Amino acid sequence: MHLALSLLEHFKGKPKAAIINVSSILGFVPFSVINLVYNGTKAWLHFWSVNLRTQIAWAGLAEKTKAGRGTRSTNPSIYTPSRFVAQGREECIKPISVETHLHREREDPDDNKKRNNSNVMSIEEFMDEVSRKLESGEEMVALGMASGFVDKSYAAYGET
């Protein structure tokens, strides 16, 4: 949050700029899959991202994206710091489990490898899908099985 807020002034002079937050689908899960604090921080980041996009829209600098999730700046040259307006785009990526080496401390550090879990995305699959969705204009990028969670959330609660 502090980094994004600090960069807003810098972004106002750029023809294209983006704030891309990487969260997790676990922010949509109301119970602990990994742990409560992890899920809570991901839920916070999701709603902070939604609020940032909402502030951009309320300032009159945004329109609906083609994908229908989030907003896109219509006039990136306008910047109103008092209204908390970011130039360009704010995007949030919601991956499912990605095959990384972050689980070194676990009993089985390879439990998030594709060979052990068919729901895991390889880094290549993750980057291909993120790139495709960002290039198509999506600003709430839900990947793999996560798309279903996000779609159900939007159907139940609207664009939150």
Residue among 92, 64, 52, 59 at smallest CA distance from 76: 59
Q: Is the confidence at residue 1, as pLDDT, over 50?
A: yes
Of 89-103, 104-118, 128-142, the one with minimum mean pLDDT is 89-103
Give the pLDDT score at 12.
64
Give the pLDDT score at 71.
40
Instruction: List the domain boundaries for the chain.
Output: 2-157
- DSSP track, 81-113: GGGT--SSEEEEEE---B--STTTTSSSTTTTS
Burial class (CB in 10 A: 0-12, 13-18, 19+), 64: middle
What confidence tier does 73 reach under pLDDT thresholds 50, 70, 90?
Answer: very low
Give the pLDDT score at 132.
87
Give the pLDDT score at 65.
41
In this prediction, residues 39-57 reach a mean pLDDT of 81
User: Is pLDDT larger for residue 151 or for residue 65?
Assistant: 151
Q: Which CATH class is domain 2-157?
A: alpha beta
What confidence tier does 67 reach under pLDDT thresholds 50, 70, 90?
Answer: very low
Q: Is the confidence at residue 76, as pLDDT, over 50?
A: no
pTM: 0.63
The two tokens of residue 43 are 């839920």
Q: Is the confidence at residue 81, as pLDDT, over 80?
A: no
